[in-house]
Amino acid sequence: MKIVQNAANDTLTLGLDGELDASSSVLLDNELTKPEILNYRKVMIDCQRLNYISSAGLGVFISHLQRFQDAGVKLVFFNMQEKVHNVFEILGLDSLMTIVPSEQEATAI
Amino acid sequence: MKHAIRISCSRRNLKTVRDFVAGVLAAYKLSDILQNQIILAVDEIVANLIIHSNHEDESKHLDIRVTIDDDEFRFEAEDDGQSFSPAAYQDPDIQEHIRMGKKGGVGIALVNRIMDQVEFATIGNRNFCRLRKRLA
């Protein structure tokens, strides 16, 4: 798993590249745990190169969502592959998290 | 045909198991979504066995067997770690997990929703987890 960061104004974009499992999700958790991330208005997760997610990866997002919401930080997913989106759907997370098709739509939120 | 792999109880081996299952499934030309679901269910079980049952003790091993017969995928994992008690398992309330900031506890829910049959058994000091999923 590689995480490519891109900060512009009040938005942080994290591009996820690889597979998010019980081994690699620690890296993402470390990034999202950093206190300074709450200074952004929006955190966009680019999922184009995210080829796999397990419950450990989902758990990272589940565990930070409320903290982000409380701090007024929007968490937006975009470019998600169908098979990865399906994993969010199985648990009903697609209706609890903001997932949009394109970067354009994520930017507009 | 039976396919088997033995791994030590390290998280690093999760990828090895996913690749092993993907290799077995490759001949069956499943949809991306179904193939991913089966790999995910196996990954969740194996992660639980490595982390919770065997406490990531790399001197311990899991024996994993996969067969596909009559359009049914069958998986079996065998180990001698702490046994899992499905009776004590409760389906998670995801909204509650979000409110509490909980990191874990949704893996078995994924497995239960994906697979047609999920079975845990202990015989002597050996634990068996068996999964079944119709492919067609």
Distance from CA of A8 to the nearest CA of B (A): 27
pLDDT at A55: 97
CB contact under 8 A, A91 and B33: no
pLDDT digits (tens, 9 = 90+) for A26-71: 999 999 999 999 999 999 999 999 999 999 999 999 999 999 999 9
The torsion angles phi and psi of B2, rounded to 5 degrees, stand at -100, 130
- Chain A residues with CB inside 8 Å of B105's CB? 59
A84 vs B136, more confident:
A84
Q: In this predicted structure, what is the pLDDT of residue B104? A: 87
pLDDT digit string, tens, across residues B58-110: 999 999 999 999 999 999 999 999 988 777 788 899 999 999 999 988 999 99
Mean pLDDT along residues B13-32:
96
The C-alpha angle B67, A57, A77, rounded to 5 degrees, equals 120
Domains of chain B (ranges, CATH numbers): 2-134 (3.30.565.10)
Using the Cβ of A104 and the Cβ atoms of chain B, whether some distance falls under 8 Å is answered with: no
Q: Give the pLDDT score at B90.
A: 81
Neighbouring residues of A27: CB distance < 8 A, sequence distance ≥ 6: A1, A3
CATH placement of domain A2-108 = 3.30.750.24
Candidates B14, B30, B52, B112: best to mutate against A (most CBs of A within 10 A) is: B14
Distance, in Å, from the CA atom of B126 to the CA atom of B6, rounded to the nearest integer, reads 15
Q: Give the tens place of pLDDT for each residue, A61-98.
A: 999 999 999 999 999 999 999 999 999 999 999 999 99
ipTM over the 0.90 cut-off = yes
- Within 11-50 of A, beta carbons closer than 8 Å to B belong to 19, 21-23, 29
**pLDDT category of residue B124 using cuts at 50, 70 and 90:** very high
